[in-house]
Chains A and B, each alone.
Chain A
């Protein structure tokens, strides 16, 4: 009798568990039961999108590698990856791969192990370089006294991106002044060269109706770049003869501003939109990141999107550069901006005391300008500046090098970590290399938003010059 009950219970419980998990696996959107551990901080917005990485139930490492590559390969190529997979496929490296299989991203960037994951998603202890490069540590004079796990220190080496750190570059840019003579960055002009379509200018029956109902908004809009270009309300609010949409989403902006949208969805501000078919409802609010960053209480539930920074009708890019950021961000670095040397330049530019080219805003560093020729080829401004002769003006060399379009990189994570990524795209437009390296290596200086000089000198440049 007892046995029958036990059997019965066992069957019922088994079927119950089977049903519950099958439902979760197949039918439900909420996969939280299957999350074996939190993802790295870079991926928290797609933590529940299992199929973003696990595109197939079977296939192992190759499937995951394809997932990493599909999002990250482009930026690795741009960074001239120092350790691409092709360096490790030769059989003579086989003995090394037994310890760290450097052919696969997940060997070093293992997911779902947040408790043992260090900065930049690295889940290995910091001495991973030593395994292959111990001869440098032992033989190079300048490196003999260094700790074996200090290779990736600020201003020294990076596994993937060494564009601002390789030896010849350090030598080439040694002895530069801390502030260049022409410390300036041309203003963005891409949106100005975006052509308005005829349909965006055509008036529909509802345009007049809504304009009359909202004279304040009409006034604000007509003063904006969109309004001045002749765009109508219906261009955003009524796409393709559909119903009037009260709050158009990011998809409407994307119609014309494709590269900005692409950049936006690659960074943490807009990453939630990346999985195909994602709607604006998924865009993050500061609350979801409040365990990692400080945000202003009153803005915790504001949802991100194009209008969150650019404002709904004014689309004021000046506001988007500082005030928009400070609406939500409440950390030490952000709060220290306005009174910092950079912040003061910006304040002076709003008063007309300093040209806008010389102003530094949050966006200057975190959403850098990129420079393109007529054919769409990207050129590096900091490199061009150092190639021009002293007689040429900034305007002159821009024209000579055919810089036609100045875009804004809307992926604000693109140059954030490691922060040496900022050196060539941002810092070196105004500052010398050594100063930039020293400043970015000084954590307390970063926290107080660069009030003052770097406390400590990073010797990378000196060692490189000595070896010449």
Chain B
């Protein structure tokens, strides 16, 4: 009797201990797609706000107190262009973490260094251009790492976007309108 009770007690204790140790994982892993979609939402919101409330509102087409310019550091009251603000964010992120990287690219870039470099980037930019409203997702290997690559359409949210690009001396395209896909945000996550 004693022996049975003792072994039963031992068995119950052991299984409780084991099972309680297994409850750590509550099952919430984020899919790569949700991860990049979430990152993109933040990037888009920040840049749209900057474009509307700083560049348009305070720039030459508004109050005229700041001068968004490619060489903003060298002119009085200079400030970054939206694409530069975006890039500055990407560079700051790169200093904090290498869990993801992002960049702004286009099939019609002002600076040829921002043209698509990998075949996946090219495919992604062409896809979002041909399929308005849709995003592009894929996997590619660069160097010795495989990445989940997401490409999101970058749309002209205000007329300052299309106007300035159309008039720039280095632009390969001069017929952008508000609402056009002008390029794409490429987010990469190493997997």
Binding site for B on A (CB under 8 A): 80, 86-87, 89-95, 97-98, 132, 135-136, 163, 166, 168-169, 387, 467-468
Contacts and interface: CB of A to CB of B under 8 A. Distances in A.
Given A80-B73, A468-B169, A94 B91 contact: no
Given A90-B101, A92-B121, 20 more contacts: A80-B73, A86-B91, A86-B95, A87-B91, A89-B98, A89-B101, A90-B94, A91-B147, A91-B190, A92-B118, A94-B143, A95-B117, A95-B143, A97-B143, A135-B112, A168-B70, A168-B71, A169-B71, A387-B76, A467-B169
A96 B71 CA distance: 26
B71 to A, nearest CB: 5
B19 interface: no
Closest 8 CB pairs of A and B: A94-B143, A86-B91, A91-B142, A94-B142, A89-B94, A92-B117, A90-B101, A135-B112
Interface residues of B, number: 26
B103 interface: yes
14 contacts: A80-B74, A86-B91, A89-B94, A89-B98, A90-B101, A91-B190, A92-B188, A93-B117, A132-B113, A168-B69, A168-B71, A169-B71, A169-B74, A387-B76
B103 A90 contact: yes
B32 to A, nearest CB: 15
Contacts of B143: 91, 94-95, 97-98
A381 to B, nearest CB: 15
B103 A92 contact: yes
Interface string B159-191: 000000000010000000000000000101010
A100 to B, nearest CB: 15
Interface string B90-123: 1100110010010100000000110001100100
A179 B91 CA distance: 42
Interface class of chain B by DSSP: mixed
B70 A91 contact: no
Contacts of A80: 73-74
B98 to A, nearest CB: 8
B94 A92 contact: no
A98 B117 CA distance: 15
B13 interface: no
Nearest to B102: A90
A43 B101 CA distance: 37
B28 interface: no
Contacts of B101: 89-91
Contacts of A98: 143
Nearest to B118: A92
A98 B169 CA distance: 33
Contacts of B29: none
Given A89-B94, A136-B112, A95 B71 contact: no
Contacts of B76: 387
A399 to B, nearest CB: 18
A133 to B, nearest CB: 9
Contacts of A92: 103, 117-118, 121, 142, 186, 188
A412 to B, nearest CB: 25
Nearest to A98: B143
| Of listed B101, B117, B121, residue having the most chain A CB within 10 A | B117
Nearest to B120: A92
Interface string B57-74: 000000000000111011
A93 B114 CA distance: 11
Nearest to A92: B117
A91 B70 CA distance: 24
Nearest to B115: A135
Nearest to B117: A92
Contacts of B188: 91-92
A94 B118 CA distance: 10
Contact of B71 (A86, A91, A166, A468): A166
A86 B90 CA distance: 9
Nearest to B98: A89
A185 B89 CA distance: 40
A130 to B, nearest CB: 14
B186 to A, nearest CB: 8
Nearest to B91: A86
| Of listed B69, B71, B118, B121, residue having the most chain A CB within 10 A | B71
Contacts of A94: 142-143
B38 interface: no
Contacts of B15: none
A28 B3 CA distance: 76
Contacts of A468: 169
Given A86-B91, A92-B118, A468-B169, A163 B74 contact: yes
B145 interface: yes
A90 B90 contact: yes
A95 B74 contact: no
Contacts of B69: 168
A251 B118 CA distance: 57
B146 to A, nearest CB: 10
